[in-house]
Amino acid sequence: MDKGSVLPAEISPQLLRPLAYRVLSKKYGLHIKSDGLAQLAKFIGNAFGLDWRRSAETMQFLERFAVIWREQERGLFVDAVGVDAVTQELRERNKTAKQRRPARARETTLDALVRPSDTDKAAESPGGDVTATEPMDEDTAAEEPLDWTHYFKVIDTFSQQQFTYDVTKKRYRLAQPRDSAAGPLSALRLRIPSLEANLSHFPTRYHLVRDRVLRNASFQNDDVYNPLSSMMQLQQQLDAGGAPLASTAYMSITQIKNLLGRDGKNFLLLGLIRKDSKGSWSLEDPSGTIEVDISEAYPTKGTYYVPGCIVLAEGIYSSAGNRFRISSITHPPGERREACLEAIGNLDLLGIHGLSNESYISRLDKELKIRLHFLEKELTDHRFVFLGGNIFLDDDMIETALAKLFDVLERDPPTVLILPGSFTSTPIYPSSDSKSSSSTAAYKANFDALAKLLSNYERLINETTFVFIPGDNDPWGSMAYLGVAGTLPQHPIAGDFVTKVNRICKHVVWGSNPTRIAYLSQELVIMRDDMCTRFKRNSIIFPTVEQEQKQEYLQLQQELQDDDRSVDLTISQLIKSRDQLPASIQESRKIVKTILDQQHLSPFTSQVRPISWDYDYTLHLSPIPSTLIICDPTAPKYDVTYNGCKSINPGTFLHKRNVNYIEYIPSLRKSTEEEIAV
């Protein structure tokens, strides 16, 4: 037999059973089915030939096979389908390893485990089995470059795969798809949220936040606890950029049910703050509810506190009236995206690199993520353009503004163009007269006019992907809520209204609200919501904060009176603090920090902002995205980075006769504000 070749052998499954049992069953606890053993014997016979028994590489291959089987959570039983999938995964990992190593470099890869010991070169046969061939030059066998379009995906909320969180095992499990329900009521089940979803969506959110908090270094030691000061030290730690706390400042969380009979003691609680049926503030966790007294509570600054937020509250329990007197309150500490992904085992929640099923759980491959990151750096010409909100197509001024914008973009078309709604200035709503039908016809005519306008820009409609995000005035949510913020998530605009736009544009996506975009190694979340005004309207008023503001106001009045008497005033005397930030920047930081610390796109109670229980998981920001775009015309435009998440608000599309939009370059992860005079 020539060197570099191997004669495939047909191995009886019974001959392989002792070796497979020793590695797969005894060491890794797997149970081998007869069809799985036969498929494994066939693969090993083709890969290692007659020397499979004497070769130590057979044992190494079985070890690697078992490790990947466990990584992919394929269960305890090794079957033929799983064997084919795992061996294919081994081939893919081998390709990745070959591309990452330098040319001519010698490195141990999967090929060494599936080829005979007297050669280091192997190739795949057309049938999928591994056979040995003559050695190949590594330059000619180099991996083909990645195609970025394979890793670019706009993910609709209603097609996003669902994972449920197992509280006991602290891991995600793939939920059964909704369309798997059989029977005449299956269509009804798709539209009506289930009672189980209503009962589970708060405990799921709570336990995700709690597990994130317990991963924080400040909560790693339960033996030492310094009450009534740890919360302030925690805030100082966060402001200082993560410096470790003193040894006496470690904190532990107590469940509400464990407060009973412990009168006058200090505790730290984690729970959802809301008003109870009596109109009093209460704190709730899965173990129970307790009334809280916030009259002496000192909240940490820089965030909003609204009903529906999960907060850390420190204070004293009083058995009289079963009340918890809060002394300090703060949001849970945030967590970076990489740390959260590592904690959940790099689970591919969005199905970017492959959809999960009952026998296979998709995970983010670290080596592939590195390759995608380097590919991002190479694609310097890729640009995302985020337009401001309220693109009212029934307004002639908006049409003129769009024409000027398209004139600019036509010279160098962006990769993606995001257009947030609403696309009509008045909500579409049902009526008993003919006005209802005319309003829907006018709505369709507005998009037909947009299609006619776009037809003048050949490069733009052929090279750019258009993503439309609905607003409050767009159907069909406006039919029920008449332009008021409705249920989240919001369905995409119906295809009956946009047929001409679909015909004109080569790449167009009618997204939901919110919508996610997977771009190589990045995840972008886009949402259209008037969140700033909702935070302000529903912000909890703390008496201590009001008292401080009143004292500051009186002190400011006194200083102004003193300044009027003084003729020699300097600039430094007029400035309260040298590091004082403008009000718009402070406001934007409060919004971003609140959302990312809560890790939820709607941290409100259902009375403030209703959500569809079945789709609450699509509003979670765990892990936080690479980039968060919240189109909020009621808030100032901002570009804020917090915990590695870049948060952007493009503002209003047309403001003071200027077109506002944000240009984002993913290769640099930088954004610039652009304006065009109309």
Q: How many CB atoms lie within 10 A of CB 658?
A: 15
- Of 50-64, 126-140, 459-473, 623-637, the range with the lowest mean pLDDT is 126-140
629 near 524, Cβ under 8 Å? Answer: yes
**What per-residue confidence (pLDDT) applies to 18?**
85
What is the model's pLDDT at position 143? 57
pLDDT in tens, 119-130: 333 333 333 333
Residue 296 clears pLDDT 50, i.e. is over it: yes
Q: Is the backbone peptide bond immediately before 8 cis, with ω within 30 degrees of 0?
A: no
The domains of the chain are located at 13-94, 365-529+601-677
pLDDT digits (tens, 9 = 90+) for 307-363: 999 999 999 999 988 899 999 999 999 999 999 999 998 999 998 888 888 778 888
Q: Which residue has the tokens 């730290």?
A: 268
Look at residue 139 and tell me whether its pLDDT is greater than 50.
no
pLDDT at position 467 is 98
Checking if the pLDDT of 241 tops 90, the result is: no
Q: Contact, 340 vs 308, CB < 8 A?
A: no
Q: Has residue 34 got a pLDDT over 60?
A: yes
pLDDT of residue 5: 58
Q: Does the pLDDT at position 2 exceed 50? A: no
Task: Give the lowest-confidence range in 236-245, 388-397, 519-528.
Answer: 236-245
Inform me whether the pLDDT recorded for 604 exceeds 80: yes
pLDDT tens column, 635-649: 999 999 999 999 999
pLDDT band at 519 (very low <50, low <70, confident <90, very high): very high
Average pLDDT of span 52-63: 83
Helix (H) or strand (E) holding 544: helix 543-565
Provide the pLDDT for residue 81. 85
pLDDT at residue 553, rounded to an integer: 78
Is a pLDDT exceeding 90 seen at residue 268? yes
Q: Which CATH number fits domain 365-529+601-677: 1.10.3810.10, 3.40.640.10, 3.60.21.60, 3.30.70.370?
A: 3.60.21.60
Indicate whether 213 pLDDT > 50.
Answer: yes
Confidence bin at 135 (pLDDT 50/70/90): very low
59 vs 635 pLDDT, higher one: 635
Q: What is the pLDDT of residue 455?
A: 96
| Rounded Cα–Cα distance for residues 650 and 636 (Å) | 9
Most confident of 93-107, 213-227, 295-309: 295-309
Instruction: Report the C-alpha gap between 254 and 314 in whole angstroms.
Output: 10
Half-sphere exposure of 549 (CA within 13 A, CB side): 8
Local confidence band at 179 (pLDDT 50, 70, 90 cut-offs): low
| Spatial contact of 506 and 462, defined as CB atoms under 8 Å apart | yes
The proportion of the chain whose per-residue pLDDT surpasses 70, expressed as a percent, equals: 81
Contacts with 69 (C-beta within 8 Å, 6 or more apart), sequence order: 28, 30, 78, 82, 86
The residue written with tokens 């950029």 in the block is 241
Tell me the average pLDDT of the chain: 83
> At residue 140, does pLDDT exceed 50?
no
Average pLDDT over residues 256-261: 92
* Residue 367 tokens, joined: 């080596």
Task: State the number of CA atoms in the 13 A half-sphere of 263 facing the CB.
Answer: 6
Phi, psi of 213 (to 5 degrees): -65, -40
Lowest mean pLDDT among 110-124, 474-488, 648-662: 110-124
Write down the pLDDT at residue 522: 95
Please report the pLDDT score of residue 429 as a whole number.
Answer: 76
Question: In this prediction, what percent of the chain has a pLDDT beyond 90?
Answer: 50
Torsion of CA 665, 668, 673, 675, to 10 degrees: -50
Position 567 pLDDT exceeds 50: yes
Strand ranges (E), 94-169 = 122-124, 130-132, 152-155, 163-166
The gap between the terminal CA atoms of the chain, to the nearest Å, is 79
How confident is the model at residue 261, as a pLDDT? Answer: 87
User: Does residue 195 or residue 156 have the better pLDDT?
Assistant: 156
* Strand intervals (E) in 331-403: 384-387
pLDDT over 60 (residue 576): no
Pick from 37-51, 157-171, 437-451, 652-666: least confident = 37-51
Higher-scoring residue by pLDDT: 165, 356: 165
Q: Which of 92-96, 122-126, 504-508, 578-582 has the lowest mean pLDDT?
A: 122-126
Write phi, then psi, for 510 (nearest 5 degrees): -100, 95
pLDDT given for residue 97 in this prediction: 62
pLDDT at 586: 92
pLDDT at position 142 over 60: no
Higher pLDDT, 635 or 169: 635
Tell me which of 112 and 548 has the higher pLDDT: 548
User: pTM of the full predicted structure?
Assistant: 0.76
Match 């470059």 to its residue by tokens: 145
- Answer for the pair 532, 632: CB distance below 8 angstroms, yes or no: yes
Question: Given a cut of 90, is residue 291 above it in pLDDT?
Answer: yes
Confidence of residue 189 (pLDDT cuts 50, 70, 90): very low
* Cα–Cα distance, 639 to 344 (Å, whole number): 29
The confidence score (pLDDT) of residue 144 equals: 65
* Most confident region among 187-196, 384-393, 551-560 by mean pLDDT: 384-393
* Residue 352: predicted pLDDT: 84
